[in-house]
Amino acid sequence: MKSKNEPNLNVKFQRNYSGLILAAGISLLIMGILLNLFSDKLFRTEKGDSPTAELETLKSSLSKYKSEVALEKPVFEADLIQIDLQRYQSMVSDTTGEISIEFLNYPVHHNEVVSRIETDSPPLKPNYGKMRTTDHFLKGFINRYKRKKYNDPDVTVLCLVVKQVGKKRAEFVTLNMDRVELKEVRELYDATDIGIDSEHDSLRGLFSSVKKEQIFIGSMDTASGIVIPLLITNFLSPVNGEETLQVTSNVAFIPVSISFREPDASADTTLPMKGLVSDPIIID
């Protein structure tokens, strides 16, 4: 037998259940009113235009508007250019103005990679037979190299090309880099393996030492740019015609981010290089 003060659970459940039904009914009523008000606008077609076509037109206009607004401020683009050594040397030394490749109209930042190209020290074609590696596959490569199973290597220069394409000048432009000193030979499947994206990093690890460096560029006007050599690679093709191997050694520079200040701004903006760099461009 229930006491006088004991709650009636059955009555309480019925009240809550009734409340839920009432709330659900109100929600359905509101949804019906909204659908009635807006269905004509959502699904109306004029001159055969479908809602999908109208939506795509709206998206296109919005994208165009965002692009135009973006160009009213400093905007950066970046390319990875991998170029044959001899082609690179002839282009950067040309003074006739007849070179048609756009990025060579930009100044080249002088760093350890440039010094290595100018002096061939350390050698641009190293003796891989005297190098070491912790990579099991490359141990086989070194043994085959010692037995002269590879043709003379092709040398390439991997460069980062940074361009300012916005309508306003960028001030205090600074490239933030990782200087990677390799303690052993490393393989690169392609230029994306240098570690701009951390998921594709063949250069940082126990086999290397990493130091932060900055390249201060200063002001960059519209259509200005700069070329930064990042590393030297060797392409080695086996004498038996098997798959070519790309390796690198010595020092490499990995672009991490770019910092700049917009006109009239009081603070710098920093953009990760991962979001700026396009797919690698190869120039033979």
| Whether 180 contacts 250, CB under 8 Å | no
Note the pLDDT of residue 3.
Answer: 45
- Residue 192: Cβ-neighbour burial (10 angstroms; 0-12, 13-18, 19+): middle
| Whether 277 contacts 255, CB under 8 Å | yes
Q: Cβ atoms within 10 A of the Cβ of 161, count?
A: 20
Return d(Cα 78, Cα 228) in angstroms, integer: 11
Note the pLDDT of residue 98.
Answer: 45
Note the pLDDT of residue 240.
Answer: 86
User: Would you kindly state where each structural domain of the chain is located, as residue ranges?
Assistant: 10-69, 75-283
Question: Which of 101, 224, 118 is CA-nearest to residue 169?
Answer: 224
Please list the rounded mean pLDDT of every run of 10 residues in the chain (284 residues). 43 44 54 50 46 59 52 88 90 58 77 95 95 90 94 96 93 97 94 91 93 96 94 94 90 97 92 91 85
Return d(Cα 203, Cα 249) in angstroms, integer: 9
Return d(Cα 1, Cα 4) in angstroms, integer: 10
